Amino acid sequence: MNRLQTRPATGVRVETRGEVTLAAPDYARTKLLAVLERLDEPVLAARVKLTQEPNRAVAEPSRAQAVVDLNGRPVRAHVAAATMQEAIDLLQDRLNARIARVRRHHEHHRHHGTAPDAGTDGTGHGPRPQRAARSTGDRRIVRHTSYSPARQTPWEAVLELEAMDYDFHLFTDAAGGGDSVVHRDAADGGYRLATAGPRADQVPGLPASTVGAPELTVADAVERLDLSGLPFVFFTDAETGRGNVLYHRHDGHYGLITPVR
C-alpha cells in the first residue's frame, strides 16, 4: 500500500466569522486536505478560520487562517484577499510554503545551531492582511493577552516566528532570562532581536539592539506606535519592569501582550 492509502483521515475544523458564503467552508476543507495529503508527518489537528470583514472600505475584506499540528509542532498561515475564494487559494499556497520553509529552518538549525537568513523567497511576507483604516481617536486596546513566554534561545524564537507566521514573537531569553522579541525587518526581510535590558552578548547573524527597550507607560507606547508608523512597539512597562508589546490589529485597534508577573 502507498502512504496515501494507509494515512488515517484527518478532519479539518472550519469556523467562520461574518457573512461567509455557505460554500466557503467545504472549499477550505478541500484545499487544506490537499496540503495534508502530501505530508509525511502525522497530522494531529487542522483548523481553518474564515473571516469576512463587514467594512466595505477595506481593500481585502476576506481573511483566511490555518493552523496545522504536525506531530506536536504547530504551523500557521494567514492571508487576506478581495474575495473569500481567492483568500482560500492563497492560504493553500502560503501554508505549503510555510511548511517547506519551517522544514528548511529546522534542518539548518539541527546541523548548524542557527536558523538560515530570512531570504527573498516571498514566504516571509505578503499577501498579509491589511490594517483597517481607523482614526487615532477611535483606536482602543481591545485585546490584552497575558501569558508566560517560553524560555528560548533567540534562534529558537526565530523558528517559532516562522512556524506561526508572525511578524514578531515575544519570548524569555534562555540565557539571560530577560523579556525579548524577535521580528522581521520590513526593510530587508531579515530578522532582528531586541531585549528589555542591555544585551551583553551578540547572536551571530542576528542583529540586536544594544540599548534595550525604552521604558514607557502604556499610554506612552500608544503615542509612540501612532507616531512611528511601525506595526508594533516593544517596551519595558514603567510599572512592572517587564517587556511588553503593543501592536496594530487588523481591525485598526490595538493589541497588548504582557508577560505574567
Tens digit of pLDDT at every position of the chain (261 positions): 344 433 444 689 999 999 999 999 999 999 999 999 989 889 999 999 999 988 766 778 899 999 999 988 899 999 999 999 999 999 999 999 999 888 887 676 666 655 555 554 444 444 566 677 788 888 999 888 887 888 898 888 988 898 898 889 999 988 888 899 999 887 777 888 998 876 667 777 788 877 778 999 999 999 999 998 888 999 999 888 999 999 998 888 899 999 887
How many Å apart are CA 149 and CA 181, to the nearest integer?
10
- Looking up cell 514607557, which residue turns up? 216
How many Å apart are CA 209 and CA 213, to the nearest integer?
8
For residue 48, the cross-strand partners are: 14, 66
| pTM over 0.95, yes/no | no
Burial class of 57 by CB neighbour count within 10 A (0 to 12, 13 to 18, 19+): exposed
How many Å apart are CA 237 and CA 193, to the nearest integer?
18
8 A C-beta contact, residue 64 and residue 49 = yes
8 A C-beta contact, residue 254 and residue 139 = yes
Q: Which long-range contacts (CB under 8 A, 24 or more apart) does 191-198 make?
A: 191/115, 191/117, 191/118, 191/158, 191/161, 193/154, 194/234, 195/243, 196/236, 196/242, 196/243, 197/236
Residue 7: its pLDDT value, please?
47
8 A C-beta contact, residue 253 and residue 136 = no
First to last CA, the chain: 54
Of 71, 89, 28, nearest to 163 (Cα)?
71
Residue 222: its pLDDT value, please?
95
Residue 6: its pLDDT value, please?
38
Phi, psi for residue 184 in degrees, rounded to 5: -85, 145
3-class DSSP state of 230: coil
Q: What is the CA radius of gyration of the chain?
A: 19
Find the helix or strand (DSSP H, E) in which 121 lies.
none
For residue 257, the cross-strand partners are: 145, 245
How many Å apart are CA 11 and CA 25, to the nearest integer?
13
Q: Residue 260 has which C-alpha cell?
A: 505574567
- Looking up cell 481591545, which residue turns up? 142
Helix and strand numbers, DSSP H then E, in the chain: 5, 13
